[in-house]
Amino acid sequence: MLLELTLAIPVLLAVVAPLAWRRLGAWWPRVASLGALTVFVFLLLMLPDAILGHPQTVTREWMPQLGVTFALRADSFGIFMALIISGIGWGIMSYAGGYLGKDERTGSITGWLLLFMAAMIGVSVADNILMLFVSWEMTSFTSFMLIGTNHRDEESRVGAKQALLVTAIGGLALLGGLVILGRQAGTWNLSEMPAMHDHPFALGAFVLICLGAFTKSAQFPFSFWLPGAMRAPTPVSAYLHSATMVKAGVFLLARMHHVLGELPAWTPTLVITAAATMILVILAVPRATDLKALLAYSTIGALAIMVGLIGIGTDKSMTAMVVFLLAHACYKGPLFLVAGSIDHAVHSRDIRRLGGLAQKMPVTIVTGVIAGLSMVGIPPMLGFIAKEYALGAGMNYAPWVAGLITVLAMAFVLVAANVILIPAFGKKRELASHAHEAPWSMRVPMVVISSLGLILGVSPGLLERYIVGPAVTSLEVTPVHLSLWHGWNLPLLLSTAAVFWGGLAFWKRTALGAFCPALPSGPRIFDAIWNGTVGFGRNVTRILQNGSLTMYLGTIVVVACVLLLSVWIIEAAPIDVDVVRKVPIIDVIIAAVIAVSAVVTALARRRLPAIAALGAMGMGVTLFFLASQAPDLALTQFLVEILSVVILVIGFRHLPDFRITKKRYQIGRVAIAVLVGFTMSVMTLVALSTDYAAPISAWHGDNALTKGHGHNVVNVILVDFRGFDTFGEIIVLGIAALGVGVLVGSLQKLRKHNPEMLSGNTKEPVQ
Amino acid sequence: MSIAIGICYASAVYLLLQRRLLQVLLGIALLGHATNLLILVASGLRGTEVPIIAEGAATLSAHAADPLPQAFILTAIVIGFALLGFALALAYRCMRVLGHDDIDELNNTDRLDEVGH
A547-690: CATH topology: Four Helix Bundle (Hemerythrin (Met), subunit A) (1.20.120)
Interface test with A, best of B35, B48, B59 (most A CBs within 10 A): B59
Q: How many helices (H) and strands (E) does chain A have?
A: 33, 2
Cβ(A320)–Cβ(A309) under 8 Å?
yes
Cβ-Cβ contacts under 8 Å, B20 against chain A: 656, 658-659
pLDDT at A136: 94
- The pLDDT tens digits of the residues spanning B70-94 come to 888 988 998 999 998 888 888 887 7
A58 bridge partner residues: A72
C-alpha to C-alpha distance for A592 and A501, rounded to whole angstroms:
98
C-alpha to C-alpha distance for A591 and A620, rounded to whole angstroms:
8
Q: Closest partner residue to B84 among A644, A685, A714, by Cβ?
A: A644
Query: What's the pLDDT band for A762 if we cut at 50, 70, 90?
Result: very low
Question: Environment class of residue A268 by beta-carbon count within 10 Å: exposed (0-12), middle (13-18) or buried (19+)?
Answer: exposed
Q: B31: distance to nearest CA of chain A, Å?
A: 10
pLDDT surpassing 50 at residue A761: no
Q: Which residue on chain B is closest to A697 by alpha carbon?
A: B68
Mean pLDDT of chain A: 84
Residues A661-687: b if buried by 16+ CB within 10 A, e if exposed: eeeeeeeebbebbbbbbbbbbbbbbbb
Q: Which residue on chain B is closest to A602 by alpha carbon?
A: B11
Mean pLDDT of A652-672: 70
Cβ(A616)–Cβ(A594) under 8 Å?
no
Mean pLDDT of B48-74: 81
C-alpha to C-alpha distance for A485 and A380, rounded to whole angstroms:
9
Out of A168-182, A413-427, B102-116, the most confident range is: A168-182
In order of A345, A390, A473, A642, B52, the CA distances from B77 in angstroms are: 83, 84, 80, 13, 20
Q: Which of residues 508-567 of A touch B (CB under 8 A)?
A: 538, 541-542, 545-550, 553-554, 557
pLDDT at B112: 40
B90 touches chain A (CB under 8 A): yes
The SS3 of residue A73 is strand
Residue ranges per domain, chain B?
A: 2-47+65-115
C-alpha to C-alpha distance for B56 and B65, rounded to whole angstroms:
19
Q: Quick check: A706 and B58 CB within 8 A? A: yes
- The pLDDT tens digits of the residues spanning A590-619 come to 888 888 888 888 888 778 888 888 889 889
Crossing angle of helices A440-458/A315-346, nearest 10°? 160
ipTM summary value: 0.85
Cβ(A51)–Cβ(A76) under 8 Å?
yes
Q: Closest partner residue to A651 among B5, B92, B110, by Cβ?
A: B92
Cβ-Cβ contacts under 8 Å, A647 against chain B: 84-85, 88
Query: What's the pLDDT band for A213 if we cut at 50, 70, 90?
Result: very high
pLDDT at B104: 64
Quote the pTM value.
Answer: 0.68
Cβ(A561)–Cβ(A679) under 8 Å?
yes
The one-letter amino acid code at A754 reads: N
Q: Closest partner residue to A704 among B29, B50, B60, by Cβ?
A: B60
pLDDT surpassing 70 at residue A539: yes
A764 bridge partner residues: none
Cβ(B36)–Cβ(B5) under 8 Å?
no
C-alpha to C-alpha distance for B103 and A548, rounded to whole angstroms:
8
Cβ(A175)–Cβ(A143) under 8 Å?
no
Mean pLDDT of A220-229: 81
A673 touches chain B (CB under 8 A): yes
A658 touches chain B (CB under 8 A): yes
The SS3 of residue A343 is helix
Cβ(A83)–Cβ(A36) under 8 Å?
no
- DSSP letters, B4-71, are HHHHHHHHHHHHHTSSBHHHHHHHHHHHHHHHHHHHHHHT-----B-SBPPTT-SS--TTBPPHHHHH
Query: What's the pLDDT band for B103 if we cut at 50, 70, 90?
Result: low
Query: What's the pLDDT band for A252 if we cut at 50, 70, 90?
Result: very high
Query: What's the pLDDT band for A317 if we cut at 50, 70, 90?
Result: very high
Q: Quick check: A655 and B51 CB within 8 A? A: no
The residues near A714 (Cβ < 8 Å, ≥ 6 apart) are: A630, A632, A633, B51, B67, B70, B71, B74
Cβ(A315)–Cβ(A258) under 8 Å?
no
The residues near B51 (Cβ < 8 Å, ≥ 6 apart) are: A629, A630, A701, A712, A713, A714, B60, B64, B65, B66, B67, B70
pLDDT surpassing 50 at residue A764: no
C-alpha to C-alpha distance for A586 and A600, rounded to whole angstroms:
21
pLDDT surpassing 90 at residue A42: yes
| Nearest-5° Cα angle at B50, B47 to B51 | 90
pLDDT at A519: 63
Choose between A284 and A319: higher pLDDT: A319
The SS3 of residue A642 is helix
Greatest C-alpha distance within chain B: 72
pLDDT at A766: 34
Cβ(B9)–Cβ(A676) under 8 Å?
yes
Nearest Cα neighbor of A379 from A472, A501, A483 is: A483
pLDDT surpassing 70 at residue A156: yes
Mean pLDDT of A325-353: 88
- DSSP letters, A603-622, are H-SSHHHHHHHHHHHHHHHH
| Nearest-5° Cα angle at A370, A337 to A219 | 60
pLDDT at A40: 94
First to last CA, chain B: 48
Kindly calculate the radius of gyration of chain A based on its CA atoms and give it in whole angstroms. Answer: 38
Cβ(B29)–Cβ(A644) under 8 Å?
yes
Cβ(A310)–Cβ(A244) under 8 Å?
no
Query: What's the pLDDT band for A377 if we cut at 50, 70, 90?
Result: confident
Q: Which of residues 683-712 of A touch B (CB under 8 A)?
A: 683-685, 687-688, 695-697, 700-702, 704-706, 711-712
Kindly calculate the radius of gyration of chain B based on its CA atoms and give it in whole angstroms. Answer: 20
- The pLDDT tens digits of the residues spanning A345-356 come to 888 888 888 888
A617 touches chain B (CB under 8 A): yes
pLDDT at A489: 80
Residues A610, A613, A615, A620, CA torsion sign: negative
A71 bridge partner residues: A59
Range scoring the smallest mean pLDDT among A357-361, A444-448, A505-509, B104-108: B104-108
Range scoring the smallest mean pLDDT among A138-142, A348-352, A485-489, B10-14: A485-489
C-alpha to C-alpha distance for A429 and A427, rounded to whole angstroms:
6
Nearest Cα neighbor of A311 from A265, A244, A245, A248 is: A265
Residues composing chain A: 767
Choose between B19 and A74: higher pLDDT: A74
Nearest Cα neighbor of B67 from A694, A716, A723 is: A716
Residues composing chain B: 117
> Given 3.40.50.720, 3.90.650.10, 1.10.3470.10, 1.10.287.3510, which CATH number is that of B2-47+65-115?
1.10.287.3510
Mean pLDDT of chain B: 77
pLDDT surpassing 60 at residue A9: yes
Query: What's the pLDDT band for A11 if we cut at 50, 70, 90?
Result: very high
pLDDT at A533: 82
- The pLDDT tens digits of the residues spanning A632-654 come to 889 989 999 898 888 888 877 77
pLDDT at A518: 65
Give the H/E segment covering residue A665.
Answer: helix A663-689
Range scoring the smallest mean pLDDT among A134-143, A244-253, A337-346, A697-706: A697-706
Q: Quick check: B68 and A697 CB within 8 A? A: yes
pLDDT at A626: 87
- The pLDDT tens digits of the residues spanning A399-443 come to 898 889 988 888 898 888 888 888 888 877 776 677 778 888 888
Nearest Cα neighbor of A84 from A323, A296, A258, A313 is: A323
The residues near A565 (Cβ < 8 Å, ≥ 6 apart) are: A679, A682
Q: Quick check: B19 and A621 CB within 8 A? A: no
Q: What is the dihedral of CA A158, A162, A165, A169, to 10 degrees?
A: 170
pLDDT at B117: 36
Cis peptide upstream of residue A221 (ω within 30 degrees of 0): yes
Query: What's the pLDDT band for B115 if we cut at 50, 70, 90?
Result: very low
A201: left (phi over 0), alpha (psi -120 to 50) or beta: alpha
Cβ(B68)–Cβ(A700) under 8 Å?
yes
Range scoring the smallest mean pLDDT among A69-78, A152-161, A187-196, A384-393: A152-161
In order of A94, A369, A380, A469, A511, the CA distances from A451 in angstroms are: 17, 11, 12, 21, 35
Cβ-Cβ contacts under 8 Å, A745 against chain B: none
pLDDT at A692: 64
Q: B40: distance to nearest CA of chain A, Å?
A: 9
Mean pLDDT of A386-406: 89
Residues A384-401: b if buried by 16+ CB within 10 A, e if exposed: bbbbbbbbbbbbebeeeb
- The pLDDT tens digits of the residues spanning B9-40 come to 888 888 888 777 788 888 888 898 889 888 88
Contacts 24+ apart (CB under 8 A), A285-289: A285/A411, A285/A414, A285/A415, A286/A411, A286/A414, A286/A505, A286/A509, A286/A512, A286/A513, A286/A515, A286/A516, A287/A513, A287/A516, A287/A518, A288/A418, A289/A350, A289/A351, A289/A352
C-alpha to C-alpha distance for A92 and A28, rounded to whole angstroms:
13
First to last CA, chain A: 68
Choose between B31 and A664: higher pLDDT: B31
Q: B24: distance to nearest CA of chain A, Å?
A: 10
The SS3 of residue A121 is helix
Q: Quick check: A739 and B89 CB within 8 A? A: yes
Query: What's the pLDDT band for A300 if we cut at 50, 70, 90?
Result: very high
